[in-house]
Amino acid sequence: MSTMANIKKNDTVRVITGKDKGKTGKVLRVITDTEKVVIENVNVYKKHQKQGQNREAGIVDKAMPIHISNVRAICPKCAKATSFRRKVLSDGKRVRFCRACGETIE
Ligand SMILES: [Zn+2]
């Protein structure tokens, strides 16, 4: 299992560097091979789309991956930009918890 700052799909993260510094968004995809994440409305480029079977040709906004080190997780419990750690509960279940407030994160 990759450490990947323990960020998962659907987490909310804040960008801390680059052209989208300060933006927050939902993680759409985690690419473990390159340690990158695709975030909603972050690092968006205009992409020319060719006409396909079920779509019109045109220009679409496409979010491109950015490196995991450029983002911080936003804790849903304390709302701080932080990172998550993992721990194993007494019943053997693995959970994530917030480094800032210590609360368990789903
Ligand atoms: Zn927290």
In a domain, 104, yes or no: no
In a domain, 106, yes or no: no
What's the gap in Å between 56 CA and the centre of ligand 1? 43
In a domain, 100, yes or no: no
> Residues 3-31: pLDDT tens digits?
567 999 999 999 999 999 999 999 999 99
Rounded to 5 degrees, what are φ and ψ at 11? Answer: -70, 155
Asked if pLDDT for residue 72 goes beyond 80, the answer is yes
In a domain, 24, yes or no: yes
The Cα 12–Cα 104 span in angstroms is 15
What does the DSSP 8-state code read for residue 42? S
In a domain, 27, yes or no: yes
What's the gap in Å between 92 CA and the centre of ligand 1? 22
| CATH number of the domain enclosing 41 | 2.30.30.30
Q: CB–CB of 43/63 below 8 Å?
A: yes
The predicted structure's pLDDT at residue 56: 85
The predicted structure's pLDDT at residue 9: 96
What's the gap in Å between 14 CA and the centre of ligand 1? 14
In a domain, 23, yes or no: yes
Residue from 83, 66, 65, 85 nearest 74 by CA: 83
Mean confidence (pLDDT) of the chain: 92
What's the gap in Å between 36 CA and the centre of ligand 1? 23
- pLDDT confidence of 2, banded at 50, 70, 90? very low
- pTM (2 d.p.): 0.84
What does the DSSP 8-state code read for residue 10? T
In a domain, 64, yes or no: yes
